[in-house]
Amino acid sequence: MQTGLVANMTNTHNQARAIKVRDVLLNALAVSSGAVDAISFLALGKVFSAFMTGNIAFLGLRVANASAPGWVSILVSMAAFAVGVYLSAKVVKPSEGSRMWSHPVTISLAASLPAHAAFLAIWFASNGQPSIDVAHVLLALWGLAMGMQSAAVRTLHVEGVFTTAATATIILLVGDLTNWSTTVEERRRLAGVLVSLFLGATIGGLLLVRAHIFAPVLPFGITLAAVATAAVAFSEPHRSH
Residue 59 has φ and ψ, to the nearest 5°, of -60, -40
β-partners of residue 132 are none
d(CA 189, CA 202): 20
Q: What pLDDT score was predicted for residue 175?
A: 80
User: Coil, helix or strand for 93?
Assistant: coil
pLDDT over 70, % of the chain: 88
CB 190 within 8 A of CB 169: yes
Evaluate the CA torsion angle 129, 78, 104, 10 in order and state its sign: positive
The distance of Cα 99 from the centroid of its chain, to the nearest Å, equals 19
Q: Report CA Rg, the chain.
A: 19
Reported as a pLDDT band with limits 50, 70 and 90, residue 238 is: very low
CB 160 within 8 A of CB 169: yes
pLDDT at 59 over 60: yes
d(CA 107, CA 102): 9
Q: What pLDDT score was predicted for residue 216?
A: 97
> What's the Cα-to-Cα distance from 83 to each of 8, 143, 151, rounded to whole Å?
43, 9, 11
Q: What is the pLDDT of residues 1-58, one digit of tens each?
A: 555 544 454 556 567 888 899 999 999 999 999 999 999 999 999 999 999 999 999 9
Q: What is the pLDDT of residues 76-122, one digit of tens each?
A: 999 999 999 999 999 987 655 446 898 999 999 999 999 999 999 99
Fill in the DSSP letter of residue 237: G
Which burial class, exposed, middle or buried, applies to 217 when counting CB atoms under 10 A from its CB (0-12, 13-18, 19+)?
middle
